[in-house]
Amino acid sequence: MKPKRYYIETYGCEMNKSDSVDIALTFQARGYEESASGDDADVVVLNTCSVREHAAERIIGRLGYYRSTNRKREGELLVVLAGCMAQEQGRRVMELFPEIKVVTGTYHGLRIAEAVQQYGETGNPVVLLDREHYDFSSFRGQRAQGHSAWVNIIVGCSNFCSYCIVPHLRGPERSKPSHEVIEEVRQLAERGVVQVTLLGQNVNAYGKDSGDMGFVELLTQINEIEGIKWIRFLTSHPRDFDEEIVRLLAGLEKVCRHIHLPLQSGSDRILKLMNRQYDTHHFCSMVDAIRTHMPDASITTDLIVGFPTEKEEDFRMTLDLVRRVWFDDAFTYRYSARPFTEALRLEDTVDRETAGHRLDELIEVQRGLSLQKNRQEIGKTVVALVEGQSKKNVREMLCRTGQNRMVVVCTDEPAGGFLNIQIEEVSGNTLRGVELGKAGHSYITDAACFAGSGMASEESGRT
């Protein structure tokens, strides 16, 4: 009998992408094969996002698409709604789209394959939305994605920023036991993984809920694991970041010189209303600490415009701070009102058009700043990890620097290798360079290499 085939569409953050790795492994453990597209799969999983309304609208569009696919295939396709949007409104969406036979929220992704089987046996749709118990995945080395891997170290969020739906859908912070994280990274290294990205909504809170070791201690132990060359992490909360952390991180040679530190707004009044629990003074002192102790680090951020009550002067403060800090790059978003959140109570909302103009202006400013930073790279020699083939030219490989910049280079070096690259030109967010040879060590940069990254966002802008 031909094995059944699954296909996963993932929306939203790295956390969701990481969860999808586990979902795929649970299907493979039951003998399923991955399908190249949803059109000829037996099961399509939509691992959804709900952080902004726009994300949810896109998913409704995809469900419409799979409705017609399912009709063409005479009802053979089974659709699973998983992740944040499922947690938020899974039952309602299931009523609108009866081809959804399984709904799992943010606590039960690991049970999707089992739920699909249960549906196959009983013919009864399965809904798993309770939040009483959460199991971390026990997949370890198998989670490798080529030479890189995501490693969830803490799930949920206890911060309740007033605009954010995440704590309402993913529950409070829960740290994965350190011995499990370390064993996972060890097994990944045994399978040839050289770069790990530690994930959490607030990685600096690691261990606080469980009394386990703290974040820096965890990084120190991972830094010792043979075979691992580069360690990245996402996301740091400015409130829980201090100079001592930066100083200690600077002493760990495998920790990549890239800090993603979401500012959200340059107005202290707005930051307070957002319940971010830091002010711009603290944020700037963290930027100073990074530039003092890790002078070659790139700093990227997240920014929201059009938060309720935001006046032109608040927005100007954001622009001023963005220029002053000179972020290497920024993900920029138009505020989106989300269910359950405190910000919904604020009455003085910013109209869509004004928020749109502010977003455009912010994107324009940041784009200019990112370009200038990228141009400063021209002529420098950087160390970069070869990640894969460029889509445009098979002779070209896409590489990532320790500062999270993408570099295109012509090379025979396969994915997983480290190269010294001389940067020759910049086009948009991507640098182009020539290979100078293999990088003989795992260090983040050559002494010559300083600064910057590459990223960004319609409801959101990518610079």
Among the listed residues 201, 298, 300, 453, the single contact to ligand SAM using CB under 6 A: 201
Part in contact with ligand SF4 (CB under 6 A); list of ranges 56-64, 140-148, 159-167, 323-331: 159-167
Task: Kindly give, in sequence order, each residue whose CB lies less than 8 Å from that of residue 102, ignoring residues fewer than 6 positions away.
Answer: 78, 80, 81, 112, 115, 116, 119, 125, 126, 127, 128
Question: Which residues make Cβ contacts (< 8 Å) with residue 224, sequence separation at least 6?
Answer: none
Q: Is 361 helix (H, G, I), strand (E, B) or coil?
A: helix
Give the distance, in angstroms, between the CA of residue 445 and the centroid of all CA atoms in the same chain. 23
DSSP 264: B
> Sheet containing 230-234: which strands, arranged edge to edge?
148-152, 195-199, 230-234
Q: Which residue bears the tokens 């994300």?
A: 55
Instruction: Tell which positions 55-74 bind ligand SF4, by CB under 6 A.
Output: none
Of positions 20, 70, 87, 336, contacts ligand SAM by CB under 6 A? 336
420 binds ligand SF4 (CB under 6 A): no
Strands 5-10 and 33-34 turn out to be: parallel
Q: State the binding partner of 101 from ligand SAM, ligand SF4, none, CB within 5 to 8 A by kind.
A: none
The binder of 160, among ligand SAM, ligand SF4, none, by C-beta within 5 to 8 A per type, is: ligand SF4
* Chosen from ligand SF4, ligand SAM, none, partner binding at 52 (C-beta under 5 to 8 Å by type): ligand SAM
Residue 260 interacting with ligand SF4 (CB under 6 A): no
Quick check: 18 binds ligand SAM (CB under 6 A)? no
162 binds ligand SF4 (CB under 6 A): no
Q: What is the closest distance, in whole angstroms, from the C-beta atom of residue 382 to ligand SAM in the complex?
A: 27
Q: Is residue 160 close enough to count as binding ligand SF4 by CB under 6 A?
A: yes
Q: Is 126 in the site for ligand SF4 (CB under 6 A)?
A: no
CA distance 137 to 306: 38
Round the CA-based radius of gyration of the chain to a whole number and report it: 22
Binding window for ligand SAM (CB under 6 A); candidates: 106-114, 163-171, 179-187, 413-421: 163-171
The binder of 249, among ligand SF4, ligand SAM, none, by C-beta within 5 to 8 A per type, is none
State which of residues 164, 188, 219, 330 lies at the interface with ligand SF4 (CB under 6 A). 164
Q: Which of 87, 142, 159, 301 binds ligand SF4 (CB under 6 A)?
A: 159
- How would DSSP label each residue in 29-68? HTT-EE-SSGGG-SEEEEEE--SSHHHHHHHHHHHHHHHH
Q: Which one of ligand SAM, ligand SF4, none interacts with residue 167, CB within 5 to 8 A by kind?
A: ligand SF4
Closest separation between CB of residue 445 and ligand SF4, Å?
Answer: 29
Exposure string over 438-457, b if 16+ CB within 10 A, otherwise e? ebeebbbbbeebbbbbbbbb
As given in the structure block, the two tokens for residue 95 are: 């009523």
For ligand SF4, give the closer residue by CB, 159 or 403. 159
333's contact among ligand SAM, ligand SF4, none, with CB below 5 to 8 A by partner kind, is ligand SAM
Q: In 91-199, where do the E strands start and end?
A: 100-104, 126-128, 148-152, 154-155, 174-175, 195-199
**Mask: binding to ligand SAM, 26-65, rule CB under 6 A, as x and -?**
-------------------------xx-------------
The nearest distance, CB 419 to ligand SF4, in angstroms, is: 35
Neighbours of 155 (CB within 10 A): 22
- Residue 7 gets the label, from left (phi > 0), alpha (psi -120 to 50) or beta, of beta
Site residues, ligand SF4 (CB under 6 A): 157, 159-161, 164, 166-167, 201-202, 237
